[in-house]
Amino acid sequence: MPIIKPMIPPSIHDESPPPDARQYVVFRLDGNPYGVGLSAVSRVVHAAMITPLPQAPAIVMGVIRLGDLVVPVVNTRRRFRLPERELAVTDKFVVACAAWTGADRALALVVDAVDGVLEVPARSIVSTSRILPGLEYLEGVAMSDAGIVLIHDLGSFLSLDEEGALSAALAGRPR
């Protein structure tokens, strides 16, 4: 069974994944493991103060500044229909890029904790279409020592309407 490895900067990671392996950053919400593709994740940072963004869709909590970037913060609990709670000092932001309408956008996903990187053979990922067609936001399911890990599709994380509203809010345009 695949093991979740702690996140190690690539410069000191001396093992190459097998050619058919998929890598996912595994995070937790309410103790349950979830994952997003490692290639989409740029960094994991400690939770920080979020600046509200007027006219943003309900799923967007606001924005944070990371260097020269203004990054929208997504309420991951709301998206996954989990009980909401206040942001805690122990929470993390998983900063990842997703593509919508041909453009990449960085998003910060609010998570309780980050476990590390899960490396699994591609054949070990069960497509959601084989489990229950039409599952929103899910790419597939992987098994690990942490249990079942729901792999999320960042490309469908925001609906087209939410992406449009977010773009308008970031540009300061009314919806």
Each residue's pLDDT tens digit, 108-161: 999 999 999 999 888 878 776 667 666 667 788 887 776 788 888 887 777 777
Residue 102: predicted pLDDT: 52
Residue with the two structure tokens 């990671």: 13
Average pLDDT, the chain: 81
C-alpha 23/C-alpha 167 separation (Å) is 29
Contact 41, 25 (CB under 8 A): yes
Residue 19: predicted pLDDT: 67
Domain locations in the chain? Answer: 4-171
Strand order in the sheet with 103-111: 41-46, 92-100, 103-111, 69-74, 60-66
Count, residues in the chain: 175
Higher pLDDT, 100 or 41: 41
| pTM, full prediction | 0.81
**High-pLDDT (> 90) share of the chain, %:** 38
Residue 13: predicted pLDDT: 46
Q: Is 155 helix (H, G, I), strand (E, B) or coil?
A: helix
Identify the architecture of domain 4-171 in CATH.
Beta Barrel (2.40)
Residue 114: predicted pLDDT: 96
| pLDDT tens column, 80-105 | 889 999 999 999 999 998 765 455 77
- Asked if the model's pLDDT at residue 72 lies above 90, the reply is yes
* E strand map for 67-102: 69-74, 92-100
